[in-house]
Each structure stands twice: as structure tokens, then as C-alpha cells.
């Protein structure tokens, strides 16, 4: 991770900003703990998050009203990058990943809807714990894809230099993309991005299983990708 300074902030100013945004770091660590804590120690997650915040500060410079949103992307991205790069899956599960993906697609076609976790595990003869591990990895990939899609396919750094006209176009385009989602899918995005709830908290709020929330996040990602492929 590149931590070279791209701003004129002094070390003292950086430290003050870091301290001011520690509550944001704690919220995001709590939000992603469901995905990361089975793979990374909580202290490691916090350190990765702080490095993500420091990188955001050094790239962005003195915080303004837009810095919080930018920092969130950087902090979440740092954690999800580390999670995705950890090849933590058991070898047997690595070999089954493509088969699980193929089975989900086949069941979706057969049922005319996204299959439930119990239907997938029964079809493949998987234990629920093994299926949950698969979902954790998929969820990390999907949430990172969503972060990228919700900045309209641009690098997060581009948010620093976007002019008002570009922001207006992007906002309008995103509104159209989100309008293609079902109400429940829109609620999940709002709970995750606006209220910083974890996937576990979202599942409790909507009275769904965590596995189902992971599935819906994958559907959301695919819908928004489809929208941008057809619009741009």
C-alpha cells in the first residue's frame, strides 16, 4: 500500500486527523467483522483499517465535507483487499467454488429465482458451515465490487478531483441504476452504506439469515453491473 505523502500536511496534522476519524474506523471494523474476524485477528483488522485511513489522509489532504465518504471507501477497501487476498479457504472448498457457482446458476434457472441456502447445500451435499465459508469469500468480493460500482467504476481517487458537473452526471446515473433494484435491495444498500450496519445486523433488521443477505448482495452487484454494461 502506497503511503507516500501527496499533501502538505505535517505529521502532527496527520496524527490529529487520524485521532478525529478513529470512530469512523471503529464503525467500519465493526461493520466488516462478520466477514473478516474468522480470517483475521480483530487487532489486525483495526491496523489495516488505520493504514487505509492514513492512506486516505495522505492522498486527500486536509479533510472537508466530502472526506468522510472518501475515507470510508479507502478503509473498507483496505480491509476487503486483505480479506480477498488471503487464500484462507480449505483446499477442498477451493476446488468446489466453481461447482457451487455453476450449481447456483443451474438452480436459479430451474426455480426461476435465486435458490435458498438450504436448496444449494442439499443439491451439492455441502455442510452449512462449508457453504458459509464460501459465502464469506463471495461476500467480500461482492462488497468490494459494490464499492467500486457505487463510485461509478472510477478509482476512489477520482472523487477528489471531480468537478460539480461530473458529480451531477454520476449522481443522476447512479439514481437510475438504484431504481432498477427491488425495494428490499435498496433498503440493504441504505443500511450498509448510509447507516454502516454489518451484514449480520442487516440480517437481524430484515429478519433474514446472514447467508441470504450475502446472496442478495451478489444479486445487487450483478444488477448494477448489468445496468452499466447496457447504459455505457
Instruction: Specify the DSSP element, H or E, that contains 99.
Output: helix 91-111
Question: 180-188: long-range contacts at Cβ-Cβ below 8 A with a sequence spacing of 24 or more?
Answer: 180/223, 180/224, 180/227, 181/220, 181/223, 181/224, 184/216, 185/216, 185/219, 185/220, 185/223, 188/213, 188/216, 188/217, 188/220
Would you state the pLDDT for residue 153? Answer: 41
Domain 1-88 classification at class level: mainly alpha
pLDDT along the chain (232 residues), means of 10: 62 92 91 72 90 91 85 86 66 68 85 83 82 73 72 45 43 71 89 84 89 83 81 62
Would you state the pLDDT for residue 232? Answer: 57
Provide the residue ranges of all domains of the chain, joining segments of one domain with +: 1-88
Does the pTM exceed 0.75?
no
Would you state the pLDDT for residue 171? Answer: 54
Would you state the pLDDT for residue 37? Answer: 66
Amino acid at each position: 500500500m502506497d503511503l507516500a505523502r501527496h499533501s502538505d500536511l505535517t505529521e502532527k496534522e496527520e496524527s490529529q486527523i487520524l485521532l478525529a476519524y478513529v470512530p469512523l474506523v471503529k464503525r467500519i471494523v465493526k461493520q466488516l467483522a462478520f466477514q473478516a474476524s474468522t480470517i483475521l485477528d480483530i487487532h489486525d483488522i483495526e491496523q489495516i483499517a488505520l493504514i487505509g485511513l492514513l492512506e486516505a489522509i495522505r492522498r486527500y489532504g486536509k479533510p472537508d465535507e466530502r472526506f468522510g465518504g472518501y475515507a470510508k471507501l479507502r478503509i473498507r477497501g483496505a480491509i476487503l483487499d486483505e480479506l480477498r487476498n488471503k487464500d484462507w479457504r480449505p483446499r477442498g472448498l477451493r476446488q468446489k467454488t466453481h461447482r457451487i457457482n455453476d450449481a447456483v446458476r443451474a438452480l436459479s434457472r430451474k426455480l426461476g429465482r435465486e435458490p435458498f441456502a438450504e436448496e444449494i447445500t442439499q443439491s451439492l451435499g455441502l455442510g452449512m458451515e462449508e457453504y458459509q465459508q464460501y459465502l464469506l469469500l463471495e461476500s467480500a468480493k461482492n462488497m468490494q465490487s459494490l464499492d467500486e460500482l457505487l463510485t461509478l467504476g472510477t478509482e476512489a481517487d477520482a472523487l477528489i478531483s471531480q468537478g460539480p458537473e461530473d458529480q451531477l452526471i454520476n449522481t443522476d446515473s447512479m439514481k437510475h441504476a438504484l431504481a432498477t433494484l427491488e425495494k428490499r435491495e435498496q433498503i440493504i444498500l441504505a443500511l450498509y452504506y448510509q447507516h454502516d450496519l454489518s451484514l449480520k445486523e442487516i440480517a437481524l433488521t430484515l429478519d433474514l439469515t446472514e447467508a441470504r443477505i450475502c446472496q442478495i448482495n451478489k444479486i445487487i452487484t450483478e444488477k448494477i453491473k448489468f445496468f452499466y454494461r447496457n447504459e455505457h
